[in-house]
Structure 1
Amino acid sequence: MTEILSTDFMQRAILAALLVGAVAPMVGIFVVQRRMSLIGDGMGHVALAGVAIGVLTHRSPVLTALVAAVIAAVVIEILRARGRTSGDQALAIIFYGGIAAGVVIISKAPDGTPANLMKYLFGSILTVRQDDLVIFAVLAVVIAVTTWVLRPRLFAVANDEEYARAVGLPVLTLNIVLAVLTATTVVIAMRIVGLLLISALMIVPNAAAQLFARSFSSGVRWAIALGLVSAVGGVVASYPLNTPSGGTIVLVAIGLFLLISISTSVVQRVRGNRHDRAEGHDHEHGPGCGHASVPHEDHVDYVHDGHLHAPHHGHYDEHGEVAPAEQTTEEVTP
């Protein structure tokens, strides 16, 4: 670990992974709510065209990718709002048009090679430069602040657009903001996770968090935590394994999802089979014991101090509380 942290490019990669791991799930939760989990892929393909333009014109690929992805995000939402084409059709057009334009444009660049595309498509820890890290940090702060401030409105629109429109929320504007946040997240992540894999880091941590989170807020917090573990863990693991950082990050995220899925399933099964024992007492329940008896499925519960007790293998099981009126019910025999 000391060796990993001693190298400059790994320090930059880990910092970039922290930024990506934090903001990707923050935006992804609203994408999941809207059932548009593949929008990150669409933005990634358009960002590829922006990267190609940057390579061809000798400008920063990060900035040209950001411009291309943001323009595509706005166009998609306008097309959806006007109803001229459905969301999935608009996304498909942008999806294929972006990657086709990227391949064609970069083929015209003097130093355009397939290797130039691969590091953006699947991520490479060697490509994170100091100036890129500064841009990533600024964009990540903008994403985090915007998401935090607008989270109630984004949540309302993502869950029910018609209701949000009825209460006066600017639905189109909020949808465009979310699309732009998604496009920006894709650009931040392209150096580390890759344009083809960033959608997974937006979706998988949220899917895992929803397996055990009890509220939307706790789901967001857990998703961010899982995103950070996946991003940093994947970058760190990719160094000794000599594997692409993007693929390693996604595999770590999927591994966490499977682990949580299995664990929650086991816990639910154990809880389903477990029964709570009533507090010990000297009184023995039975016919004529003076406590009301209540038929319950294949046995009889007895009302004792406001609780339902049922005999079970030498002890009494706790079957919940009863209303005060039920405590004075006459004894009933099954």
Structure 2
Amino acid sequence: MEILQTALMQRALLAAVLVGITAPAIGIYLVQRRQALMGDGIGHVAMTGVGLGFLLSTSPVWMATLVSVVGAVTMELVRAYGRTRGDIALAMLFYGGMAGGVMLVSLSPNGSPGVLSSYLFGSLSTVSPQDVTAISVLAGFVVLVTVGLRRQLFAVSQDEEFARVTGLPVRALNLLIAVTAAVTVSVAMRVVGLLLVSALMVVPVAAAQQITRSFAVTFVLAVVIGTAVTLAGTVTSYYQDVPPGATIVLIAIAVFVALTALATPLARRRARAARSAEETGVGGGSAGLTPDVPATRRPADDITV
């Protein structure tokens, strides 16, 4: 295939696969915690890291990772302790991160505000071998955390009080989720862009929820959808010369719409079957309580991890 003949596209496709795996892998926990827009906030903060990378002539990816982690930890602490004025503090953090990034890039000798577009919206032509190395290392960390600690992360995302009673280190796990989300933003920014990375964390998960009933199946299907849409978007961007980030997100939304359309008649059919079972006394009176409820909206004991 022509697309595989150039080193540039080989790097871009590898980065796309890693992004497609990592974004939904951490996104499912953010959706579970009702923090679907957290990735968007981290993306704003990561702009300061990108600006520092240009100003200090270091890797923008690694610097964005460092600043994103600090910002994500700050967000989690504000969420836990901020109380009534927490939203104002977070807004200042988000907007300050974006403004700081623009300012630092404009002050750097090798940067200009125009350079930021590839980080804001993604760019295939700017994925360097160093970027691929950084993305691979960071993606490995994300997969290790989201898969290796899936039971603990699920428990704390589903019900913090229950997790605390069972002896789990809730505060440490909450901070780990925030840090992993920050790392994922850095992984995805070269392909999807900082302004669109949150969509790739959320939309594949939302799409998978339309046709799945368990957390484990939702996790796997969301990763499959994420990988498929990032590859499809990257290939489309190469042949049609369109922005990769926007293309990936639009394809993901199209998948969500298609699965929603498919799930609606199936849900109605299951509901009718459940009502029929109740009327005939088959399966007891609880058969129809959960078929139409997304996996992340049901009690913990109704979901298999």
Q: Shorter-chain-normalised TM-score: which range?
A: 0.7 to 0.9
For the residues of structure 2 that align with 1:254 and 1:108, how far apart are their CA atoms?
37
Q: Give the number of the structure whose alpha-carbon radius of gyration is greater.
A: 1
Q: 1:211 to 1:98 in 2, by over 3 A?
A: same
Q: Is the Cα–Cα contact under 8 Å of residues 79 and 85 in structure 1 kept in the other structure?
A: no
Q: Which residue of 2 aligns with 1:259?
A: 258
For the residues of structure 2 that align with 1:77 and 1:273, how far apart are their CA atoms?
43
Q: Which residue of 2 aligns with 1:162?
A: 161
Q: Which amino acid aligns with 1:248?
A: T
Q: Which residue of 2 aligns with 1:11?
A: 10
Q: CA deviation at 1:174?
A: 0.6
Q: Which residue of 2 aligns with 1:232?
A: 231
Q: CA deviation at 1:85?
A: 5.4
Q: Which amino acid aligns with 2:22?
A: V
Instruction: Map Cα deviations across residues 71-124 of structure 1 (whole Å, 9 max, x no partner).
Output: 111112222333455654443222111001111111112232232110000000
Match of 1:195, SS?
A: coil
Q: Which residue of 2 aligns with 1:203?
A: 202
Q: How does 1:1-334 map to 2 (within 5 A)?
A: 2-83=1-82, 88-269=87-268
Instruction: Map Cα deviations across residues 27-49 of structure 1 (whole Å, 9 max, x no partner).
Output: 00000011111110111111111
Q: CA deviation at 1:163?
A: 1.7
Match of 2:149, SS?
A: helix
Tell me the TM-score normalized by structure 1.
0.79
Q: Is the Cα–Cα contact under 8 Å of residues 78 and 90 in structure 2 kept in the other structure?
A: no
For the residues of structure 2 that align with 1:274 and 1:154, how far apart are their CA atoms?
34
Q: Is the Cα–Cα contact under 8 Å of residues 75 and 90 in structure 2 kept in the other structure?
A: yes
For the residues of structure 1 that align with 2:207 and 2:201, how far apart are their CA atoms?
11
For the residues of structure 2 that align with 1:67 and 1:322, how far apart are their CA atoms?
53
Q: 1:321 to 1:239 in 2, by over 3 A?
A: same
Q: Which amino acid aligns with 1:9?
A: L
Which is strand-richer, 1 or 2?
Answer: 1
Instruction: Map Cα deviations across residues 203-239 of structure 1 (whole Å, 9 max, x no partner).
Output: 0000011111120000000000000011111001111
Match of 2:72, SS?
A: helix
Aligned residues: 283
Q: Which amino acid aligns with 2:5?
A: S
Q: CA deviation at 1:273?
A: 7.5
- How large is the RMSD of aligned CA atoms in angstroms? 2.4
Q: Percent identical across equivalent pairs? A: 49
Tell me the TM-score normalized by structure 2.
0.87
For the residues of structure 1 that align with 2:203 and 2:193, how far apart are their CA atoms?
15
Q: Which amino acid aligns with 2:3?
A: I
For the residues of structure 1 that align with 2:281 and 2:161, how far apart are their CA atoms?
41
Q: Which amino acid aligns with 1:107?
A: S
For the residues of structure 1 that align with 2:65 and 2:34, how far apart are their CA atoms?
24
Q: 1:79 to 1:319 in 2, by over 3 A?
A: closer
Q: Which amino acid aligns with 1:38?
A: L
Gaps of at least 5 residues in structure 2 are 285-305
For the residues of structure 1 that align with 2:39 and 2:257, how far apart are their CA atoms?
22
Q: CA deviation at 1:320?
A: 7.2
Moved more, 169-178 or 187-196: 169-178
Q: Which amino acid aligns with 2:25?
A: M
Which is helix-richer, 1 or 2?
Answer: 2
For the residues of structure 2 that align with 1:253 and 1:86, how far apart are their CA atoms?
35
Q: CA deviation at 1:319?
A: 6.0
Q: Which amino acid aligns with 1:141?
A: G
Q: Which residue of 1 aligns with 2:302?
A: none
For the residues of structure 2 that align with 1:233 and 1:202, how far apart are their CA atoms?
17
Q: Which amino acid aligns with 1:177?
A: L
Q: Which has the higher contact order (CA 8 A, sep 6+)?
A: 2
For the residues of structure 2 that align with 1:33 and 1:91, how far apart are their CA atoms?
20
For the residues of structure 2 that align with 1:111 and 1:195, how far apart are their CA atoms?
20
For the residues of structure 2 that align with 1:193 and 1:138, how far apart are their CA atoms?
18
For the residues of structure 1 that align with 2:60 and 2:209, how far apart are their CA atoms?
35
Gaps of at least 5 residues in structure 1 are 276-295, 297-306, 308-317, 324-334
